[in-house]
Amino acid sequence: MMNKVVSNAHAAIEGIENGMTLMLGGFGLCGIPENSITALVEAGISDLTCISNNAGVDDFGLGLLLQKRQIKKMISSYVGENDEFERQMLSGELEVDLIPQGSLAARCQAGGAGIPAFFTPAGYGTEVAMGKEVRYFNGKPHILEDALTADFAIVKAWKGDRFGNLVFKGTARNFNPVMAMAGKITIAEVEELVEPGELDPNFIHTPGIFIQRIFQGTNYEKRIEKRTVRQRN
Amino acid sequence: MLDKTGIAKRIAQELQDGWYVNLGIGIPTLIANYVPDGLNVVFQSENGILGMGPFPFEGEEDADLINAGKQTITAMPGAVIFDSATSFAMIRGQHIQLTVLGAMEVADNGDIANWKIPGKMVKGMGGAMDLVASSDNIIVAMMHTNRKGQSKLLRQCSLPLTGVKCVKRIVTNLAVMDVTPNGFKLIELAPNVSVEEVKNATEGRLVIEGEIPEMKL
């Protein structure tokens, strides 16, 4: 019987080696694969290229890998919440490719969907367009963007089953479904691992075909980056 | 002269019933508090929600429900959650009727810069480049001058661009202006602000035609 379940994060990241390219889901600290990041830190794997919308904060998320200098290059759209990141970037220790958020999502999706490149208006006339082919469609300039793939993609879901079918919760979905498609091997860590049949097929967000390994994570901190509330009258 | 809340209130007057609206971080986020009564406006946050509601009550924060500014939010009845690719399909595909964002600089041809100060600040563009490249209706909400008192409304942007010839309207603490082929056209003045003050605070070309009305807030 098909069984993609591995016992824990350490088993899940087996095969990730120095110098590999990883995709990591999440937006800010929301929907990040906490368990797998901790396992990568503990395994001391280095020279990583990480494709992730953000770079965590100084002491959480991808910030933990940055602290240990395990990341050689980041491909992100917004990195403003991480002082250590900014320091490493400005000093040249860390290579950084900043790309528009929509292009990042589309490039991952294209990578997973077998589309090698596409034209988008985002970034035309800016630094992002440097060296890229420009073509006009309907009188409007567009730039050519390549698809992105990764040696491993690591995503975080709310629920998942043994076949790798995934359901996300709230805005923790974000980049996870598109990155799940673009990994040569995709690891899913879930809050709740269920049996096949327990998830309604009509409401599965990521089909299990994109997932090679799945495990139930533990001790999710789910740190809130900017707790913002209103007062009761 | 307006404060940030005043700028948000003035931009809220631009909203129309049935619009889907994307609000950027900072002043634009405040606009959601001033939607005119009787209008149904759906707010999109590009991290993947349509129907973003107000901030949660204390104790009801959900780590799995945030906006693009990473703040905790709530979801309105009828809200929907989706992935980042779908979110930017809405943006790139021009399904959003209004985009409001902040800026460090705007040029009088509609160029905008808001993502990078070389050698100093490198935060990244987030979704701003996708938003400005595709939206037909872009309003910039910002202070007229920077902290050093220098104009943010320029003949040409000095900082790396976010998008070219895309800004339609600018609402600052001093005035409402539209981008026209001849430069910033003065549309309204903030309360107790003179045309002269706007002129002095604007480095780019300023077009002044006839009497300029005061904003009604």
Q: For the segment B139-153, what is each residue's pLDDT rounded down to a tens digit?
A: 999 999 999 999 999
| Cβ-defined contact of B88 to A231 (cutoff 8 Å) | no
**Are A167 and A157 in contact, with CB atoms under 8 Å apart?**
yes
Terminal Cα-to-Cα distance of chain B (whole angstroms)? 12
Mean pLDDT value across chain B: 96
Euclidean distance between CA atoms B184 and B176, whole angstroms? 9
Q: For the segment B101-158, what is each residue's pLDDT rounded down to a tens digit?
A: 999 999 999 999 999 998 887 889 999 999 999 999 999 999 999 999 999 999 999 9
Q: For the segment A35-47, what is each residue's pLDDT rounded down to a tens digit?
A: 999 999 999 999 9
Euclidean distance between CA atoms A8 and A39, whole angstroms? 9
Mutate to test the interface with A, among B29, B58, B130 (most CBs of A within 10 A): B130
CA atoms within 13 A on the CB side of B188: 17
Q: Kindly provide the ipTM of the predicted complex, given to two decimals.
A: 0.97
State residue A105's pLDDT score: 98
Q: How many CB pairs below 8 A link A and B?
A: 183
User: Angle at which helices A101-113 and B84-92 pack, to 10 degrees?
Assistant: 120
Give B126→chain A minimum CA distance, Å.
5
Q: Report yes or no: B136 at the A interface, CB cutoff 8 Å.
A: no
Which element (helix H / strand E) includes B133? helix B128-134
| Cβ-defined contact of B83 to A176 (cutoff 8 Å) | yes
Confidence band (pLDDT; 50, 70, 90) for A11?
very high
State residue A217's pLDDT score: 98
Q: Which residues contact A130 (CB under 8 A, 6 or more apart)?
A: none
Residue A232 has pLDDT above 90, yes or no: no
Q: Which residues of B touch A96 (CB under 8 A)?
A: 122
Facing residue for A30 by CB, picked from B66, B91, B119: B66
| Cβ-defined contact of B119 to A178 (cutoff 8 Å) | no
**pTM of the entire structure?**
0.97
Q: Which residues contact B49 (CB under 8 A, 6 or more apart)?
A: A171, B65, B67, B73, B75, B79, B80, B81, B82
In chain B, DSSP assigns E strands to: 20-23, 42-45, 49-52, 75-81, 98-101, 105-107, 112-113, 116-117, 121-122, 138-141, 153-154, 169-171, 175-180, 183-189, 206-207
Q: Report yes or no: B180 at the A interface, CB cutoff 8 Å.
A: no
Residue A233 has pLDDT above 90, yes or no: no
Scan residues 9-38 of B and list those with Cβ closer than 8 Å to A: none
Euclidean distance between CA atoms A13 and A4, whole angstroms? 13
Q: For the segment A95-106, what is each residue's pLDDT rounded down to a tens digit?
A: 999 999 999 999
Angle at B170 between CA B45 and CA B150, to 5 degrees: 110
The domain locations on chain B are: 4-207
Q: Which residues of B touch A104 (CB under 8 A)?
A: 84
Helix (H, G, I), strand (E, B) or coil at B44: strand
Euclidean distance between CA atoms A72 and A94, whole angstroms? 6
Q: Which residues contact B59 (CB under 8 A, 6 or more apart)?
A: none
Q: Which residues of A touch B29 (CB under 8 A)?
A: none
Facing residue for B57 by CB, picked from A28, A226, A229: A229
Q: Report yes or no: B125 at the A interface, CB cutoff 8 Å.
A: yes
| Residue given tokens 């810069």 in the structure block | B113
| Residue given tokens 């998008």 in the structure block | B163
Strand partners, B57: A230
CATH fold of B4-207 = Glutaconate Coenzyme A-transferase (3.40.1080)
Q: Which two tokens stand for residue B159?
A: 């900082």
Facing residue for A122 by CB, picked from B83, B133, B160: B133
Euclidean distance between CA atoms A35 and A25, whole angstroms? 13
State residue A119's pLDDT score: 98
